[in-house]
Amino acid sequence: MQDEKVETVRDLLILLYTDPKQLENLLELKASSKRWVEIVRNAQASNGMFLYLNPRKSGVVLDVRRQLKALIVEPHLYTPAEAQNLVKFASEHLMALDYFEDETSLKKHLQSDHGFTSLPSITGGPPTTSSQVVVACLNNLNQTPFETSQSEQGKEKVPFDDEMIYATNYF
């Protein structure tokens, strides 16, 4: 696998999502085999996250299953259609995304390299009004939006793929 530059979980996942037939050939396994299922399950069990930020510093965080974990957008630039386009682009261009082993390393990267000073937990709770960016969080356990009160200051409901994601405005 090293000859094909599949050396990390990230490499394996990208190949799984972009060219599963090539991965089958590399592993010399059929996708229906128990060993294949075990390899995929182990790779998808990691805490890894993919980050895509466009030049406007809007972006998405996807988990290793390519499920949306967070939107990172500036409120005055945000539209639901743009968010859907960000998710679609990120899912289709995994090689262009940064990969992080866990939420801590992702936050460290965003804070040090991109100047975001305060970020809510992506996996552990709803966003706060102190955020420098809008982050819409999905519950890590059941992939459903967090429930927040409509009366909370600075909150707005934003429709996204037939679900409601709660965004925090910081202005």
Q: What does each of the 171 residues of the chain score in pLDDT, given as a tens digit? A: 766 778 898 899 999 999 999 999 998 988 889 999 999 999 999 899 999 988 877 888 999 998 888 888 766 666 777 778 888 899 999 998 999 999 889 988 888 877 776 555 665 544 433 333 334 433 333 333 332 222 232 333 343 443 333 333 332
Sheet of strand 59-63, all strands in order from the earlier edge strand to the far edge = 98-100, 49-53, 59-63, 68-73, 134-135
Residue 60 φ/ψ, nearest 5 degrees: -140, 155
Rounded Cα gap, residues 147 and 138, in angstroms = 10
Q: Are residues 12 and 55 in the same domain?
A: no
- Token pair recorded at residue 161: 């793929």
The reply to whether 131 and 95 lie within a common domain is yes
Q: Which of helix, strand or coil describes residue 45? A: coil
User: Residue 75: which domain range?
Assistant: 49-168
CA 87 to centroid of chain Cα atoms: 8
Residue 39 and residue 105 in one domain: no
Q: What is the pTM of this model?
A: 0.66
**7 and 34, same structural domain?**
yes
For residue 131 the two structure tokens come to 């955020």
